[in-house]
Amino acid sequence: MAIAVLAYHSQDIGGNDYHVNDHVALEEDLRRIAACGLPVVSAVSVASAMAARSPLPERAVVLTCDDGAMLDFADFEVPGHGVQKSFHRIVRESGIGAGAGRMTSFVIADPQARATLERTCLDGARWLGEDWWPQAIADGSWHLGVHSWDHHHPTLARYAGLPPAVAEFRGVDNYAEADRQVRAAAEYLRARAANPGDRLFAYPYGNWTDYLAGDYFPHHADEHGMLAAFTTEPELVHAGSNRWRLPRFVCRLHWRSPEELAAILRRL
């Protein structure tokens, strides 16, 4: 039994070719996944099976995307690159079949942090709002997961000057900070768009810590309500995987062409 969890970023648009545009990549990748006869299952179904120690699918693909840009769910004209199909439209048109959670968007909770990241990372593009969250859940095919309270992003004033050893989420090593980044973020999401995916966490940058994976997540589950947490380690998920460190392959980090994705899928 093996599952390939794939991760994309809808804001990553540097042109209209596969290797510089995650929308183009996703559309091509779904054609390849279908040609391989691989089912697409939800991230929460995999996490729930692992938590219950139930059997996993024999071979399957899970689709995820990080940061919660509105391009996950809405078509948008990107200056210089034309109208981009949303991930939601691409998945809907792919023919992979109906069903809840066909893709899980991991969103950042803190609205002030998102506003800052729009200025510091997106050239002022207003792509990190939350108005689309309830619509995505009402659609019935989409899940939203937790991508921390504020991404522990170095462009936020509260993290200015942090040493490399603790920057980019590697400094989340105590209960208070873990609770802010996980439980508080989950509560914010649940208050606005409660859904099955709000029990899933994706580590910013993929940077899990010993404290989070070994203490906070397993020992405080009654408080935060999480089922599983995803890294960006490029491995397949199997029955023996640690559900607080589930691996994911990231588009343009772990594969940059249809052929490289095919090599990953052949491992299933």
Q: Which CATH architecture has domain 2-265?
A: Alpha-Beta Barrel (3.20)
CA angle 267, 51, 215 (to 5 degrees): 100
Q: Are strands 103-107 and 142-146 parallel, antiparallel or unpaired?
A: parallel
The confidence score (pLDDT) of residue 160 equals 87
The confidence score (pLDDT) of residue 98 equals 62
Distance CA 45, CA 60 (A): 11
Domain range annotation of the chain = 2-265
The confidence score (pLDDT) of residue 95 equals 81
pLDDT in tens, the chain (268 residues): 799 999 999 999 999 999 999 999 999 999 999 999 999 999 999 999 999 999 999 999 999 999 999 999 999 999 999 999 999 999 999 987 667 779 999 999 999 999 999 999 999 999 999 999 999 999 889 999 999 999 999 999 999 888 877 889 999 999 999 999 999 999 999 999 999 999 999 999 999 999 999 999 999 999 999 999 999 999 999 999 999 999 999 999 999 999 999 999 999 9
Report how far apart the first and last C-alpha atoms of the chain are (Å, whole number): 8
